[in-house]
Amino acid sequence: MTRGAEATLHAFVEGRRTALFHSAYLLCGNRDEAEDLVQTTLVRVVLGARRHGRLENLDAYARKTLVNTFISARRRFWRREQAYGELPDLPGRPVDNDTGLMVRAALAGLAPKQRAVLVLRYWEDLSVAATAELLGMQESTVKSHTARGLAALKAAVREEYV
């Protein structure tokens, strides 16, 4: 890779790290997991760009890598179980009624693909077609994931206000 291409790649990583972190945090709901997801994504993007030697549309490639890495991590069996020395205390009702906290908690309760669709559509502001292309699914599937995800979010927010 040429020195100019390396500089472009470095500038991309520095410029998009924060935006990718925000998307990753919405997907994961956990700061540490989001940082790991962004780190893994950026390593894959850099290695992919070096391997293929192409730097066009790095932003879309990074977004797709972020979402695919998130979804594949959620599929792994070992991610579903967590061992604890002692059972954790059950959380009570949230004291803070901040809407952002409520929405993030509701997002965490969605299936990974629904969460990915909602983050891409409403946080990343992608169209249905762009989201479908990025996730490799039909536009109708994106629409149904969006509708079901929004319905679940509305129900969760309504529960909080009751």
Question: Virtual CA dihedral for 153, 158, 160, 162, nearest 10 degrees?
Answer: -170
Range scoring the smallest mean pLDDT among 40-44, 83-87, 131-135? 83-87
* Residue pair 116/27 in contact by the 8 Å Cβ criterion: yes
Instruction: Flag whether pLDDT at 75 surpasses 90.
Output: no
Closest CA to 156 of 118, 101, 117, 112: 101
Quick one: CA dihedral 60, 142, 79, 101, positive or negative?
positive
pLDDT in tens, 112-133: 999 999 999 988 889 999 999 9
pTM, full prediction = 0.61
pLDDT in tens, 13-43: 888 899 999 999 999 888 998 999 999 999 9
